[in-house]
Amino acid sequence: MGDYAFPPPPVVALATTSGRPFPVRRIFCVGQNYSEHAREMGGDPDADPPFFFTKPADAIASGAVIPYPPATFDFQHEVELVVAFGGGGRDIEPGRVDELIFGYAVGLDMTRRDLQAAAKKKGRPWDMSKGFDFSAPCGAITPKAETGPLAKGAIECKVNGQTRQRGDLSDMIWKVPEIVRFLSALVEIKAGDLIFTGTPAGVSPVFKGDDIEATIAGLRPLTIRIG
């Protein structure tokens, strides 16, 4: 080992408010986890257990500017609470989830909505509408030791100073312990994994030059410009 065909890619890492960076392993995302957003997407908030999709770890964007992506005319923001894991396991009981959480951050599940709508219509996968380059801007992680378990608090997204999304973490259909119970029944969660926990209503398109400010009470805000 060590003599690779080419240099291996660098570890993707997120800043933390406590010092040492957090190495990212995988990114899981929950779909339609706030009732009003589920309705605006044409879903039924009461219908099903949570469903998941993924983004590659190197979709993380922690710079101040992300490029407007190719192949879309409808590039949309989704502000989300991000849960970062310092431990993991399979079939995790809700009562054990808190001890496995390293911390929380503000994230944006950036979406090529036109590609997603086309994929939904044909029953095709969402990868190219959700998991493209720079599709996962994420702010610094605040350790759980500083926040406690985050179950309520304002979550908001402004574009050029105007509020587009506003909700409360307590409005989640599936709370974090339940999300982890379902996800860990599908895959073994490991340290370094992130879960984007869904977005409140009000998703809308952004354009080159727009400034996005995503905030969650108690966490470091995330601000990015579309370049």
Q: Please state whether beta strands 27-30 and 52-55 pair in parallel, antiparallel, or not at all (unpaired).
A: antiparallel
The window from 52-60, 142-150, 155-163, 196-204 that contacts Mn ion (CB under 5 A) reads: 196-204
Positive or negative, the CA dihedral 208, 209, 215, 220 is positive
Query: Rounded to the nearest whole angstrom, what is the least distance from the CB of residue 111 to Mn ion in the complex?
Result: 7
- Out of 57, 109, 157, 195, point to the residue binding Mn ion (CB under 5 A): 109
Cβ closer to Mn ion: 165 or 199?
A: 199
Based on the shown chain and the rule CB under 5 A, indicate whether residue 78 belongs to the binding site for Mn ion: yes
User: Of residues 35, 116, 135, 199, which one binds Mn ion by CB under 5 A?
Assistant: 199
Q: How far is the CB of 95 from Mn ion (least distance, A)?
A: 26
What residues have CB less than 8 Å from 124, skipping those under 6 apart? Answer: 118
Which residue carries 């995790």 as its tokens?
A: 92
Helix segments in the chain, DSSP class H: 35-40, 97-100, 113-122, 127-130, 144-147, 176-183
The stretch among 12-20, 116-124, 177-185, 198-206 that binds Mn ion (CB under 5 A) is 198-206
Beta strands in 68-123 (DSSP E): 75-76, 79-85, 101-108, 111-112
> Distances in Å between the alpha carbon of 130 and those of 7, 78, 167, 176, 204?
27, 11, 22, 21, 15
The one segment of 9-17, 90-98, 109-117, 156-164 that binds Mn ion by CB under 5 A: 109-117
Encoded tokens for 70: 């190719």
Give the nearer residue to Mn ion in terms of CB position, either 17 or 204. Answer: 204
**24 or 108: CB nearest Mn ion:** 108
193 is a contact residue toward Mn ion (CB under 5 A): no
Applying CB under 5 A, which residues contact Mn ion?
78, 109, 199
